[in-house]
Amino acid sequence: MALLEVSSLSVSYGRVAALADVSLTVREGEIVTVLGANGAGKSTLLKAILGAVPVKGGGITFADIDLTRAAPHKRMAQGLVLVPEGRRILISLTVEENLLLGAHMRTDTGAVRGEMNAIYDRFSNLAERRHMPASCLSGGEQQMLAIGRAMMARPRLMMLDEPSLGLSPLFVSKLFDLIRELNAGGLSVLLVEQNTGKALKVAHAATVLELGRVTMAGEPAALAADPRLQAAYLGGGSAPAH
């Protein structure tokens, strides 16, 4: 079943057309990746789905509800969450305060505490430093905190904007393991990545954006084997095993 349906979406910043006629589907339980060079419109797509930028044309349906004109908080209440590029952790707040920010829309305080404990069980580094400012975390740990904060909203679909950017190879591996694990637990994922090889390995479907338009879309293994994609994003290397 389609969880997120983006159809013929167009977004402009003044005269700059950032997205033109973009369509994409995320089915329940899927990881879908959006690939593309800098400025292709990937972040704009995620922001438009979240309602942070106005759409000029097209539609966004989530869980069969038309959210095209809905306010961001209405979309979040439906289970949409964004882990933004650059993580946007509040470094002067404690780890725990950052996590609680993710639950600010929830009124079920008992369940919120349970969720937080589950996050601490998953991330012992965060648990150990729960009362310390987030500034004491490494970049990789801050990314885990950003994902933990998003989990606090109990999302149905998590959108991740270039989560591996600037992380050490060890944390990149941990990050992709985590995405797999969360997905295995039932979370649907829309993943924007520059790490094309890793993103294609983890995803069930992929879409390539170029200058705001979809130029390729389909099964990740097929895309990975496509010479155009190899030349542009995989350094001409061989297709990753799926």
Ligand X SMILES: Nc1ncnc2c1ncn2[C@@H]1O[C@H](COP(=O)(O)OP(=O)(O)OP(=O)(O)O)[C@@H](O)[C@H]1O
Query: Contact residues for ligand X (CB under 6 A)?
Result: 13, 16, 18, 36, 38-44
Q: What are the tokens at 103?
A: 């639950």
Q: Please identify, using beta-carbon distances, which residue of 44 and 143 lies nearer to ligand X.
A: 44
- Which residue's CB is nearer to ligand X, number 43 or number 196? 43
CA nearest to 6, candidates 77, 73, 55, 76: 55
| CB of 49 or CB of 179, closer to ligand X | 49
Q: Which residues of 212-224 are buried (b: 16+ CB within 10 A; e: fewer)?
A: bebebbeebbebb
Residue 118 neighbours by CB under 8 Å, 6+ apart: none
Residue 89 CB, nearest approach to ligand X (Å) = 18
CB closer to ligand X out of 36 and 163: 36
**Min CB(234)–ligand X separation in Å:** 17
| Residue located via tokens 């941990």 | 174
Q: How far is the CB of 212 from ligand X (least distance, A)?
A: 7
Give the shortest CB-10-to-ligand X separation in angstroms.
Answer: 12
Of the pair 96, 162, the CB lying nearest ligand X is at: 162
φ, ψ for residue 150 (rounded to 5)?
-65, -35
From the list 51, 148, 62, the residue with the least C-alpha distance to 103 is: 148
- Report in angstroms how near the CB of residue 40 gets to ligand X at its nearest: 4
